[in-house]
Structure 1
Amino acid sequence: MKLNNANLADLPVATPSYDRAGLQGGIVHFGLGNFHRAHQAVYLDRLMNMGEGHDFAIIGAGVMPADAKARDVLAAQDFLYTVVEQSADASDPRVVGAMIDYLAPGNPGEVIARLADPATKIASLTITEGGYFINAATGHFDATHPAIAADGANPAEPKTVFGLIVAGLKARRDADQQPFTVMCCDNIPHNGVITKEAVVETARLSDAGLADWIAANVAFPNGMVDRITPATSDRERAMIREMGVDDDSPVFCEDFIQWVLEDNFPAGRPALEKAGVEFVDDVTPWELMKIRILNGGHAIIAYPAGLMDIHFVHEAMENDLVRAFLRKVENDEVIPAVPPVPNTDLQAYFAKVEERCANPKIGDTIRRLCLDGSNRQPKFIIPTIADRLAAGKSVEGLALESALWCRYCAGTTDSGAVIEPNDPNWDVLTKVAQEARENPAAWLGMTEIYGDTGKNAEFAEAFARWLAALWRDGTAATLRSYTGQ
């Protein structure tokens, strides 16, 4: 049965208990990919099913050209979609109705008008780790990027998320209205701080006074978000049809979900604590735990598995060498570099990470975990290396992880299979990775990724040694050498 408002009552899966006609937009969201739709929107849907938060419905805002197709697909089914939560033993489908509109890309005036509307209390973002224009060498926003510079030169017709947010905030200031809160939901350390810098510095390019007003008056709460959410393919669309729903944009995800958020919403917020969000004064401990143990763990799994032609993440977890590598690096180097987290056992958290990655229902791919290493490594791996070096601790396992990433970027697996481009900077990475086979310093010399960490002699020696072993002996033998298997 086709998914739309008219058919909701007759669908053979759980559907919203609230009247969607009574919802009012209160959140403008940028980046309506699978993660947002299986995370933030699910929490809001839970709250709305409790009879609350009906004035915080989601208005999507398209920015990238590819958003047009996603918008059209969702519009054709009244912005409804199915989320299928999967444990190892069960699949639980539910229709989510928290989104009520999706503004098509290419019309900045429409987005700015929605941001300027006093009903909008929050502008939220899931634009991926690479969407924040961060210079890895400095760790700060790159206001010289051509896309940002263009918005600075023409602030009335912005084309980036940050330019649109600045224009919306300017309209609120000029109308003497309270600004909306800007809530980042991406996997970036101190994501609120990062987003604030991006918005303030984009504004400064065209209006220093506005930039100062934003810095003084707009809230940017930090948050930690977590849920494994693979991309949707024809496989998932076929699976949801077998469940009785004709949905062209379903989301399949694990049954685990977590959101820890700083409670800093001067313009108001939905009572998401009733739906399972944990509000705290400082999210940093949870953030570091998740980014280093889970996201760093994904990288530790991904590159050896990719080089050994393993397709799915759960298959990698069934491989004794990959699992032993993950456990050794996590226990010897990563977990000891994570500060204590209130009311949390780090070993229990890691055990849960292992369980989640081993879930065969998710169908998460190694290729997805390998994606965009040039943006992910500086956030998920290199800070742990830097901290351990500063403390005089070994980085053998993390140096091997870095060597595995380099070897992967050379463009072929151990079997000789070609690795298709899997990073926005793939051409550059492949060229440098191939040069690094004879000159390992070339890889660590990418200061936009490694900063000063690549200059550390101990790290450089370990990296070069492991990279040589990977080329000489292959991935499996190198993992055996490291793990003692």
Structure 2
Amino acid sequence: MDRLSNQTLDRIAQPVPGYDRHGLRAGIVHFGVGNFFRAHQAAYLDRLMNMGLADDFAIIGAGVMSGDARMRETLAAQDYLYTLVEQSAESSDARVLGPIVDYIAPGDHLRIIATLADPAIRIVALTITEGGYFIDAATGHFDPTHPAIAADAQNPAVPQTVFGLIVAGLAARRAAGHAPFTVMCCDNIPHNGNVTREAVVGTARLSNPGLADWIAAHVAFPNAMVDRITPATSDRERQMVREDFGINDEAPVFCEDFIQWVLEDNFPAGRPPLERAGVEFVEDVTPWELMKIRILNGGHAVIAYPAGLLDIHFVHEAMQDAQVRAFLEKIEADEIIPAVPPVPGTDLHAYFAKVAERCANPKIGDTVRRLCLDGSNRQPKFIVPTIAHRLERGLSVEGLALESALWCRYCEGHSDSGTVIAPNDPNWDLLTGRAQAAKTDPSAWLGMAEIYGATGTDPRLAQPFARWLAMLWDKGTRATLDAYLKG
């Protein structure tokens, strides 16, 4: 079977791009060409292009991390085409997407900056994960003292970070008299546009305060809420694409059939007509953002750590476990959903029911380990703010304290069966040491100011956390969940 490419499209029985890819013109540079981006933003663009729209908003990928090189090589070998497989519980549908037209390799800083300086580029988008924004968890703001940012401040012409590259691109546009591009964050971070603005302006200010003022005054950073469950690709998915759909694709993306994008309409340099593809434009994305981050992303954390400790592999298997599912349902109903402000036109309980249905989809093959990944960056964004919200109002955090204790217990590095948990966080060694110390001194965990801030010292969290953690060590996850569920 020939490799997926422009030359083999006419031999594929599944839907392929109905537009002339040779006629596409780049209008977007995207940092972070991973599975989520290819299943979400790129899928919307492909939908528009198949309508005969947005042919001047094709995507150029840009690599920054060394790991981006492999994705770039894989996609380049198949003309930047890839297969998207959307899966409901009942069916799987595949189609080939083609909105990506180029991908600049990591390390080619001069070409990235030159591309950013091109006035044809009107949007620079990011999916660089929650941990990529140099946020100081203790303050909740951009940390300009981070070594990577400090290095870019010393060498602004040869930046190594995404934000240094964006600043250099904006500097080149300003010098040439070109209007700035819009910076569009698509990561799961509260007020992600504001966070990105702070990182870009903060990086610029270290080396060029005048440029920083210009960026703050002239560059748009719309906030967005994005949603689609998109697991990692393995040999399993590559084999399924070959056997089930007859496509030899080394970089397929599998995802659920649900998709959502709520976006603030702030694009002075122009944008594709994304509303034609199903994007919802609103004045303020905050209500949707809080709903998604607290109910869905927070819910993922609630599922993840008990399932990880119980050696459950797939997320849908966790949802089939009566205790894990009941834990999720109780903590959502009692503590998380009441902490979410009203969302226009949305029933929050119905939204959660849809979340539970999505997590139970057996076709996705999403793993518990993926949900457990990077807790040191995710907990401060998805769980701790809900704890703080409830404490400020004098409300119980019993269930959220147990979720925190389960995360701590997971980070000790062994499941209940004694199976070793492979490192699953950029700060794994630190977390493991803290988790081990917390067996006798729970404050060793909650005292991580970079995770919990002042919330960790509040006795209304510390006391139930200590109690649940002791029970987890003494009686195990099953008995602890049972005690919580029985009230």
TM-score (norm 1): 1.00
Amino acid at match of 1:249: A
Deviates more, 1:288-297 or 1:11-20: 11-20
Paired residues for 1:311-460 under 5 Å:
311-460=313-462
Amino acid at match of 1:121: R
Task: Summarize deviations over 1:260-314 as a string: whole Å, max 9, x none.
Answer: 0000000000000000000000000000000000000000000000000000000
Task: Summarize deviations over 1:219-241 as a string: whole Å, max 9, x none.
Answer: 00000000000000000000001
Q: Which residue of 1 aligns with 2:15?
A: 14
Paired residues for 1:107-122 under 5 Å:
107-122=108-123
1:33 is displaced (CA, Å) by 0.4
Paired residues for 1:15-94 under 5 Å:
15-94=16-95
Paired residues for 1:116-131 under 5 Å:
116-131=117-132
Q: Which residue of 2 aligns with 1:469?
A: 471
Q: Distance in 2 between matches of 1:395 and 1:93?
A: 43
Q: Which residue of 2 aligns with 1:292?
A: 294
Amino acid at match of 1:107: D
Q: Which residue of 1 aligns with 2:268?
A: 266
TM-score (norm 2): 0.99
Task: Summarize deviations over 1:189-238 as a string: whole Å, max 9, x none.
Answer: 00000000000000011000000000000000000000000000000000
1:445 is displaced (CA, Å) by 0.3
Note if 1:143 corresponds to 2:150.
Answer: no
Q: Distance in 1 between matches of 2:238 and 2:409?
A: 34
Task: Summarize deviations over 1:98-155 as a string: whole Å, max 9, x none.
Answer: 0000001111010000000000000000000000010000000111111110100000
Q: Which residue of 2 aligns with 1:218?
A: 219
1:2 is displaced (CA, Å) by 2.1
Q: Which residue of 1 aligns with 2:277?
A: 275
Q: Which residue of 1 aligns with 2:181?
A: 180
Q: Distance in 1 between matches of 2:424 and 2:179?
A: 42
For residue 252 of structure 1, give the secondary structure of its aligned residue in structure 2.
strand
Amino acid at match of 2:356: E
For residue 265 of structure 1, give the secondary structure of its aligned residue in structure 2.
coil
Task: Summarize deviations over 1:425-460 as a string: whole Å, max 9, x none.
Answer: 000000000000000011000001000000101110
Q: Percent identity of the aligned residues? A: 74
Q: Distance in 1 between matches of 2:11 and 2:279?
A: 31
Q: Distance in 1 between matches of 2:88 and 2:482?
A: 31
Paired residues for 1:130-169 under 5 Å:
130-169=131-170
Q: Distance in 2 between matches of 1:268 and 1:287?
A: 24
1:86 is displaced (CA, Å) by 0.4
Number of residue pairs matched? 485
Q: Distance in 1 between matches of 2:3 and 2:234?
A: 18
Q: Distance in 2 between matches of 1:308 and 1:104?
A: 40
Amino acid at match of 2:10: A
Amino acid at match of 2:174: R
For residue 260 of structure 1, give the secondary structure of its aligned residue in structure 2.
strand
Amino acid at match of 2:372: C
Q: Distance in 1 between matches of 2:486 and 2:393?
A: 26
Amino acid at match of 1:295: N
Q: Distance in 2 between matches of 1:279 and 1:171?
A: 30
Q: CA RMSD in A?
A: 0.6
Q: Which residue of 2 aligns with 1:100?
A: 101
For residue 207 of structure 2, give the secondary structure of its aligned residue in structure 1.
coil
Amino acid at match of 1:158: P
Q: Distance in 2 between matches of 1:110 and 1:13?
A: 35
Q: Which runs of 5+ in 2 are unaligned?
A: none
For residue 451 of structure 1, give the secondary structure of its aligned residue in structure 2.
helix
Amino acid at match of 2:458: N
Q: Distance in 1 between matches of 2:460 and 2:87?
A: 43
Task: Summarize deviations over 1:9-67 as a string: whole Å, max 9, x none.
Answer: 22111101000000000000000000000000000000000000000000000111111
For residue 249 of structure 1, give the secondary structure of its aligned residue in structure 2.
coil
Q: Which residue of 2 aligns with 1:234?
A: 235
For residue 452 of structure 1, give the secondary structure of its aligned residue in structure 2.
helix
For residue 346 of structure 2, give the secondary structure of its aligned residue in structure 1.
coil
Amino acid at match of 1:118: P
Q: Distance in 1 between matches of 2:440 and 2:407?
A: 16
1:176 is displaced (CA, Å) by 1.2
Q: Which runs of 5+ in 1 are unaligned?
A: none
For residue 269 of structure 1, give the secondary structure of its aligned residue in structure 2.
coil
Q: Distance in 2 between matches of 1:62 and 1:171?
A: 19
1:320 is displaced (CA, Å) by 0.3
Task: Summarize deviations over 1:306-359 as a string: whole Å, max 9, x none.
Answer: 000000000000000000000000000000000000000001000000000000
Note if 1:479 corresponds to 2:477.
Answer: no
1:257 is displaced (CA, Å) by 0.3
